[in-house]
């Protein structure tokens, strides 16, 4: 990938504006944490790992932007920012995870001078970013073993480089299989309403010259039933202790279709997406987004005015439909309750 999802330079966070893709490659300049909260909320940046990394820089900026010499006031401002950042999007646990990581680190350095804390927090956020890329590459190496040669792989939403600090989760696995010469063809769901598939995944695959077909979401079942899909792989926004997985709306339906047609359904997600505090999928908060995302496309209204709309951004796939969960530490299979616990303990 020639384009970076986000990068930090001279105390400024640059966020690729994914609302403008694939038409324009423009970066939004974030000089304070409020701007970071805004780009996450508005989905200029999206994808569970990517918003986690962005939030880590949000914490660094919350420190950097202050002029106070009062340590308690300085720390309080960071805590206020962290609370606001964590509330921008409720479903992806990586957001809370990255912020907690920054705060845990802050705890260990908070007796230092303010200038030092600012610098250390920036370095820590840079580390969170670098690690994310590394984790994705490890995940890709683990996951590509599951992908047969000549496989026709279906993916939903964008779990690519754009959803992370680089390389991607589900798309990282596909990228790795392609790199190793496996002759992959990808089915790309357009992923309404935000069109992450049509706008982002199609763009990434085109850039990488990985063959693919774009389809609308409701076509997936047709091709699966005709034996034209060998496996499905998606990312995740939160995996519960029992393996139930929240991911982009439409994922559940794909998992059911996979089961009905006897093809494997894989999740690719870093260990930070696994949330053992959540027992099952029913406890995962599902974000409801604005009606306009459904009734307007690219600024054009497609439905009559004044109607009722539902727009859940995610759904939950019960663990029974998931063949395996690919992480950077290995591939997790059933029983998930036991094996996810074991995995997390090993970290």
Q: Out of 17, 65, 131, 217, point to the residue binding its own copies (CB under 8 A).
A: 217
Q: Is position 113 annotated as part of the catalytic site?
A: no
Nearer to its own copies, 127 or 218 (CB): 218
Query: Shortest Cβ distance from residue 35 to its own copies (Å)?
Result: 27
CA gap 169, 188 in Å, rounded: 15
CA-based R_g, the chain, Å: 20
Closest CA to 16 of 155, 197, 200: 200
Element (H, E) at 332: strand 330-332
| Smallest separation (angstroms) from its own copies to the CB of 261 | 9
Which of 132, 189, 230, 237 does the annotation list as catalytic? 237
Task: State which of positions 313-332 bind its own copies (CB under 8 A).
Answer: 315-316
> Would you count residue 114 as binding its own copies (CB under 8 A)?
no
The CB-of-155 to its own copies minimum distance in angstroms stands at: 13
Please report whether residue 1 would count as binding its own copies according to CB under 8 A: no
- The Cα 61–Cα 305 span in angstroms is 41
Q: Which of residues 228-257 bind its own copies (CB under 8 A)?
A: 249-250, 252-253, 256-257
Residues 146-185: x where in contact with its own copies by CB under 8 A, - otherwise, as a string: ----------x-----------------------------
Place of tokens 């769901």: 189
Residue with tokens 């006031």: 73
Give the one residue of 29, 310, 345, 346 binding its own copies; rule: CB under 8 A: 310
Closest approach of its own copies to the CB of residue 39, in Å: 21
Encode burial over 181-201: b for 16+ CB neighbours within 10 A, e otherwise.
ebebbbbbbbbbbbbbbbbbb
Beta bridge partners of 327: 330
Whole-angstrom distance, CA of residue 289 vs CA of residue 171: 25
* Cα–Cα distance list, 202 to 23, 141, 162, 207, 209 (Å): 12, 22, 12, 9, 10
Which of residues 276 and 294 has its CB atom nearest to its own copies in the complex? 294
Annotated active-site positions, please? 237
Task: Give the binding site for its own copies (CB under 8 A).
Answer: 22-23, 156, 189-193, 195, 198-199, 202-203, 206, 211-223, 225, 249-250, 252-253, 256-257, 259-260, 294-295, 297-304, 306-312, 315-316
């Amino acid at each position: 990938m020639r384009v970076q999802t986000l990068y930090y330079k001279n105390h400024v966070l640059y966020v690729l504006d994914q609302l403008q893709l694939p038409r324009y490659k423009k970066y939004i300049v974030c000089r304070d944490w409020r701007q970071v909260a805004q780009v996450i909320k508005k989905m200029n940046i999206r994808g569970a790992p990517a918003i986690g990394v962005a939030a880590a820089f949000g914490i660094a900026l919350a420190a950097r932007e202050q002029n106070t010499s009062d340590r308690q006031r300085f720390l309080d401002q960071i805590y206020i920012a962290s609370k606001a950042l964590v509330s921008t999007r409720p479903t992806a646990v990586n957001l809370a995870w990255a912020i907690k990581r920054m705060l845990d680190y802050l705890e260990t350095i908070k007796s230092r001078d303010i200038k030092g804390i600012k610098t250390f927090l920036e370095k820590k956020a840079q580390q969170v970013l670098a690690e994310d890329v590394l984790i994705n590459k490890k995940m890709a190496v683990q996951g590509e073993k599951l992908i047969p040669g000549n496989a026709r792989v279906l993916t939903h939403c964008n779990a690519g480089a754009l959803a992370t600090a680089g390389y991607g989760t589900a798309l990282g696995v596909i990228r790795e299989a392609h790199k190793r010469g496996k002759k992959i063809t990808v089915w790309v769901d357009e992923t309404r309403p935000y069109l992450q598939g049509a706008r982002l995944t199609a763009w990434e695959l085109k850039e990488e010259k990985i063959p693919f077909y774009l389809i609308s979401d409701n076509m997936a079942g047709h091709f699966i039933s005709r034996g034209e899909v060998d496996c499905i792989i998606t990312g995740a926004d939160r995996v519960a202790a029992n393996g139930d997985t929240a991911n982009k709306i439409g994922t559940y339906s794909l998992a059911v279709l996979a089961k009905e047609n006897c093809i494997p359904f894989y999740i690719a997600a870093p260990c930070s997406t696994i949330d053992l505090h959540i027992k099952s999928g029913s406890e995962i908060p599902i974000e409801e987004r604005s009606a306009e995302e459904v009734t307007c496309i690219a600024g054009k209204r497609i439905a009559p005015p004044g109607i009722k709309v539902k727009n859940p951004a995610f759904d939950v796939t019960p663990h029974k439909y998931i063949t395996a969960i690919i992480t950077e530490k290995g591939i997790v299979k059933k029983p998930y309750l036991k094996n996810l616990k074991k995995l997390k303990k090993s970290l």
